[in-house]
Amino acid sequence: MSKKNNLTSELNPSLVILRDNKAKWYLPETRRKGYRNLHKINRYGLLFRSDLVLKLTTNYNKDIEEKTSVKKMTNHKYFCSLLVGKNQEILYEKYASDFSKSQPQTIMSITKMFINLFIGELLEKKMIDLDKNISHYLTDIGTGYASAKIQDVLNMNIDNSYSEDYTDPYTSSYLHESVIGWRLPKDLEDIETQERYLNKIEAKKDKDLFNNSEFSHYKSANTDVLGLLVEKVSGKPLRDWLIYAVEAAGFEDALYMGTDRNHTPWIAGGGCLISRDFLRYGLLFSRKGQGVGNRKVGSALFIDQTLKNQGTKYMELKKDKFLYYSNSVMKSGDWIGHSGLGGQFLAVNLKTGIAASYFSVIDTPSGTDEKYKADMINMLDEIVNENY
């Protein structure tokens, strides 16, 4: 006769929804700590380390620290770290008093830039046609993506039922978090894989996927669908693609990658890096995919085309100067990069070779502050557009 199980338990305090439909780690008062520990807080994850490490030397440039914009942003209460580099030199490096060189932090949506490398490589090998619909390769995809051209998904240029309005606590992107272990589902038995979740996204009722505006319809699910596409077309798991990218970049620490329960990497936002590896990530793009040990990832031609591709308008930086979304990255002038929710940005000038990485944590309820975000990007624009 079996005995009754009298073990007591409680919901994981870091992942349970506490208020405003947010888990503890993302609440404003705990977000700074949560961002630094997300690689340990998420329920599922993988860790990738490189055998070879890209050596970095310091050659500080005083012109950078004297910039008014740099002084302003590095003294802001949100600030965590700012690094600037070219080739294998660190030209500037500063950390907040409560931050350190060895501290990992989430890079959020800057993880999306990996897809530029992977799609570019498939394109260079003539394994994919960007003018084809998503359903040409992913036959089980739902109406939210089936008729979308791959190029439009790369450019955040489709309109479906998936929403990403961070000021709305019940927007799709927050609800998506239970799939990749950033929060607990309402029913603990309701375990959903990334692929199943993405296949269920629908078109808006009685509407096609056409974007009627010139502005981006920013959706992290777009990048996750592209991740499924990379796996399907290449026959190679996304985690293998990430291993090769990490080994090309030559990270000294690790890429900590959140996943779903089936270990599918959350390519839209699951990455965490230390600050110097965040810079190395940018430097990999400055070299257009050329890596340590004569390794290569991505396509230099596709990266160059990313600058020429019109894309969609993401946000206005200054009067009549826009940041565009193109081929899974953001671009302005001669540089590409990406933002991350809550105060992160990476910018890489493809002509000067300057890369600049910025970590911070915005403590507003939504994790957004548009004025601060514009100041952050304009500072990085100023930095990478000079040739030190």
**What is residue 338's predicted lDDT score, i.e. its pLDDT?**
98
**What is residue 238's predicted lDDT score, i.e. its pLDDT?**
98
pTM of the model: 0.97
**What is residue 320's predicted lDDT score, i.e. its pLDDT?**
86
**What is residue 342's predicted lDDT score, i.e. its pLDDT?**
98
Cβ contact 89:58 at 8 Å: yes
**What is residue 2's predicted lDDT score, i.e. its pLDDT?**
54
Torsion angle in degrees (nearest 10) through CA of 313, 319, 320, 326: -30
Please check whether the domain covering 17-384 is classified as CATH 3.40.710.10. yes
Integer Cα distance of 279 and 379 in angstroms: 16
Q: What is the DSSP string of 288-357?
A: TTB-GGG-B-S-HHHHHHHHHS--EEEEEEETTEEEEEETTEEEETTEEEEEETTTEEEEEETTT-EEEE
Q: What is the pLDDT along the chain (388 residues), one digit of tens a residue?
A: 456 678 999 999 999 999 999 999 999 999 999 999 999 999 999 999 999 999 999 999 999 999 999 999 999 999 999 999 999 999 999 999 999 999 999 999 999 999 999 999 999 999 999 999 999 999 999 999 999 999 999 999 999 999 999 999 999 999 999 999 999 999 999 899 999 999 999 999 988 999 999 999 999 999 999 999 999 999 999 999 999 999 999 999 999 999 999 999 999 999 999 999 999 999 999 999 999 999 999 999 999 999 999 999 999 998 889 999 999 999 999 999 999 999 999 999 999 999 999 999 999 999 999 999 999 999 999 999 998 8
Integer Cα distance of 156 and 164 in angstroms: 12
Torsion angle in degrees (nearest 10) through CA of 91, 327, 225, 247: -40
